[in-house]
Amino acid sequence: MINIHKQSILQATILLTVIAFVSRILGFFREVVIANIFGAKAVTDAYLVAQVLPLTLAGLVSGALTTVFIPVFLEEKEKNGEGKAWYAANTVLSVSLVYLIIVLFLSYFFTEQFLRLIAPGFPSDRLELAILMTRMLLPSLLFYGLLGILTGLSQSYKQFLVPGIGGLLHNICIILSILILGRNLPPLSLALGNVLGVFLQVFLVLIYLKSRLPYIKWHIDFSHPAVKKTFYLMIPILLGTSVSYINTIIDRIFASGLPEGSISALNFGARVKDLPVSLFASSLSVAIYPTTSELVVEGENDKIIELLNKAIRFTWMIVIPASIGLIVLDKEIITLLFERGAFDSKATILTASALRYYSIGLFAFSASPIVARTFYSFQDTVTPVIVGFLAVGLNICLNAILIRIMAHSGLALATSISSIFSFILLLILLRKKLRCIGGRKLIFDFIKILFSSLVMGVALHLSKTCLNFIGSEFLKTVVLILLGIFIYSIIMLLVIGEDRKKLRSILSKFIKSYS
């Protein structure tokens, strides 16, 4: 039997949250370095458009392989044993590499046509720069695909540490590349850091698995049942995962005709908005997925519902107050994080406006992956796809309307509204599948958390003028953030009541597990 230390859901969530916290700090430092050296200017816009093709393909392949492979591998191990499960894993890994090479060559061929489609408003010099940077970034596609399967193998054994650390290396590589080459060779610095970073992630996970698991061997068999099942299930997963990338592409198409810096403002605003999602919500959705898949195999629907409710509730306890804080302190936070060097006050105003409207849908955006992964655990990869494309259609309609009224901020608001629509529809359809999801309690929890967050938001808004005696804007923003955390914590301790004992019990179990 394979001997790997398995993390519980709580351990995995805290572990992934800590890793995500460090990674996000590095990620924000990376964005600060980009903003400082390049600003919200043409080269940054070209880089962000250049990322669309390689990162869309990489995200689709890596995310789909990780998501699909975990239940397929666990089912194979349950039915046929560990050795045959790993034989199937080797086959999927080898066949995937062949397909990735084919996709890579096709991507090089269609790069120019794709960029002309998604950036019709770009002048010729900016378009040529985007084409060059795209082709430099495309080799990362191979490494992202391999990373998806290797990460799925690790997470199947509830081992989350090493794949999580890989994200830290990625950010470090980009930062060092920009600092060393950025001022003299901007396109090369951005592309080299990205490609080298994802290569090191693959290398780290592969070495880790190879040193502990003697099963990894290359084996190509296109007719293997696991290969057929994996790629069959991947088709709707690819379509479903593509929704967020399609939304990004659509936003870039609309924003390409707006004034210079609009695309960059949307990107920097989205980065800040994603912080609470990446720190907690994404970590939790990843941590519970192997357990949910196991419960599906065992037919424990009641436990699935209980796990789903807990995951959404704890996600909201972090994300909803964060969204209110981002709305109230939008300009202060953007100034604190980015306003230096080439990132001027005009860029701050543009980015803060995008952040404000992105934050409205944060509660839905953060909880949707948890609900979607519950469908995937049942090997239902079709329902999230249908919902996703309905949301894309809504987003396109809203973009066309709101961009005329609110410019780039309208694109952010459209994204939030379509995210809320998608989340609610997913919950309704999951309720039909499970017959019950504890909807009343979820609504009641949402109201309690929102009430506490709004009280915190009002207090922060009033405190902004009261703290004008603090001369340093940096110190003032930090004090406001700490004050918001303190006020929210006090209110929640008064409101949640019955959950206090549960929280103490959870922390006690976590401490004992590592003592």
Comparing CA positions, the residue from 434, 443, 274 lying closest to residue 369 is 274
353 vs 120, higher pLDDT: 353
Instruction: Pinpoint the alpha helices (H) of 119-185.
Output: 124-137, 140-156, 161-181
- Per-residue HEC secondary structure of 83-127 comes to HHHHHHHHHHHHHHHHHHHHHHHHHHHHHHHHHHHHCCCCCHHHH
Predicted confidence at residue 241, as pLDDT, reads 61
Distance between CA atoms of residues 347 and 267, nearest Å: 12
Distance between CA atoms of residues 330 and 353, nearest Å: 8
Residue 421 has pLDDT above 90, yes or no: yes
Read out DSSP for 237-288?
A: HHHHHHHHHHHHHHHHHHHTTSPTTHHHHHHHHHHHHHHHIIIIIHHHHHHH
Residue 4 has pLDDT above 50, yes or no: no
- Contact between 185 and 33 (Cβ < 8 Å): no
> Helices H, strands E: what count in the chain?
19, 0
Predicted confidence at residue 85, as pLDDT, reads 78
Cα–Cα distances in angstroms (integers) from residue 321 to residues 309, 326, 457, 458, 462, in the given order: 19, 9, 8, 12, 16
Predicted confidence at residue 514, as pLDDT, reads 41
Tokens of 179: 């600092």
Distance between CA atoms of residues 394 and 414, nearest Å: 8
Q: Sorting pLDDT into bands at 50, 70 and 90, what band is 377?
A: confident
Site of tokens 């939790």 = 284
Residue 7 has pLDDT above 70, yes or no: no
Cα–Cα distances in angstroms (integers) from residue 502 to residues 269, 367, 437, in the given order: 35, 21, 20
212 vs 221, higher pLDDT: 221
- Contact between 419 and 368 (Cβ < 8 Å): yes
Q: Tell me: the pLDDT tens digits for 71-96?
A: 777 777 777 777 777 777 778 778 87
Comparing CA positions, the residue from 319, 412, 326 lying closest to residue 367 is 319
Predicted confidence at residue 385, as pLDDT, reads 81
Q: Tell me: the pLDDT tens digits for 93-126?
A: 788 788 888 888 888 888 888 888 877 777 788 8
Distance between CA atoms of residues 171 and 168, nearest Å: 5
Distance between CA atoms of residues 360 and 325, nearest Å: 11
Residue 417 has pLDDT above 90, yes or no: yes
Distance between CA atoms of residues 199 and 314, nearest Å: 34
